[in-house]
A and B are shown apart, each in its own frame.
Chain A
Amino acid sequence: MANLKLFISYNRHDEHVVGLVDVLNERLRNAGIQTFVDTQSGAGRIRSQEISQAIDRADAYVIVSGNEAPSHFQARELASVVEKVWSHPAQPVVPVVLAGAEPIPAFAEFRAIPFDDHRLSETRYVNGIVRTIVDTVTVSGPRVGVIDHTARMHEWQTRTVEIGHTIELLGNDGIAGH
């Protein structure tokens, strides 16, 4: 897991998701995962090249979304992630969606983790989200290559069982669950 690279995308202007991203970034790094989170505001050619490289090198993507539409720059990030996933269909994508908000259409096929931004101070609750992300991105391992649709469906069914097992272990309080 030490070499796993995770790209986290979020809208820096959406106050409901910023707190979660900060906590996730810290906990995932503590878990030994290399994360890339764009925390800088504004644009710049060098910055956009860094982001582009981070997307290209990432093994998995966490897409955090709330009620706000993606900003211009997040939309560009997401479009790059979508193209990467089209080219590498086995790359894990984990949408993390504010409770009550709609997932981003391009990632609707992936199992989303809902979160309640009022519960971010609850360690067990946040740990449950982190655990689910880690389980999801490590079940198949990074860069397992392009697989056909049937194989992908099987893979996701397997992942769903694994995530269900995590929920059982942590209990409903430990997970953001439906």
Chain B
Amino acid sequence: MASLATNTGEVISLAPTVFINCPYDREFEELRDSILLSVVFCGYTPASPMMSTKTGATRVDRILAQLSQSVYSIHDLSRCQEWGAGNVARFDMPLELGMAMMLVHTGCAHDWMALVPEGTNRFAFASDLDGFDPVVYDGSIESVVRKVVAALTVRPEASRGVRPSHVITVWPEFVRRKRDLQEDWGDAGVDWHRLTSLAKQLRAEYPPQ
């Protein structure tokens, strides 16, 4: 694992990064949070297009930079069909999946998984993914945690001994503390960094055995 020496001489371990590309609407909030918690429990730092504050770069540039600095990316394609008040399909997620696939194709040390909800005709809406088999989950927290932990713990840099049950056990506490944070800081104040810190704090308090 890479490390960073601070100006006080302290050495900080830098966990490898996993880029999470999923819907950011309220309806998907719990699934997104459970993916973030799973990523942290497996020993990674989650990254998101929402966390970048870098100015002077296009959103695509920022996403490409984050993707190329991540060892892995998770792409949830749930919104690639008519959805929401405007009844539109979202193309951000497949666009970013395409960027990740291109990174792999050009030799970057990167791998990815695509998540699709059960019942989706994935072969019809993304026939180019034929043979890559997006990972199907049933829309529940338990299901998505199981798929993400399974995918990450087979990677060489992952923490040992992590099971979905570890994440599921801690999940209610994560929800409770997130609610506390929202009361203190408001919804907007509980940003990606704060959620990541909360997940890391819980991992330190409830380490996988």
Contacts and interface: CB of A to CB of B under 8 A. Distances in A.
Contact of B146 (A70, A76, A83, A106): A83
Contacts of B123: 45
Contacts of A44: 130-131
A161 interface: no
Interface residues of B, number: 25
B153 A86 contact: no
Interface string B104-130: 100001011000000000010000001
Contacts of B163: 86
B153 A82 contact: yes
B111 A75 contact: yes
Contacts of A78: 154
- Say whether chain A's binding surface is mostly helix, strand, loop, or mixed: helix
- Say whether chain B's binding surface is mostly helix, strand, loop, or mixed: loop
Nearest to A42: B131
A45 B130 contact: yes
B99 interface: no
A105 B160 contact: yes
Of listed A44, A76, A78, residue having the most chain B CB within 10 A:
A76
Interface of B: 104, 109, 111-112, 123, 130-133, 135, 146-147, 150-151, 153-156, 158-164
Given A48-B133, A105-B154, A108-B160, 18 more contacts: A44-B130, A44-B131, A45-B130, A45-B131, A69-B111, A72-B111, A72-B132, A75-B155, A78-B154, A79-B135, A79-B147, A79-B154, A80-B150, A83-B146, A104-B154, A105-B156, A105-B161, A108-B161
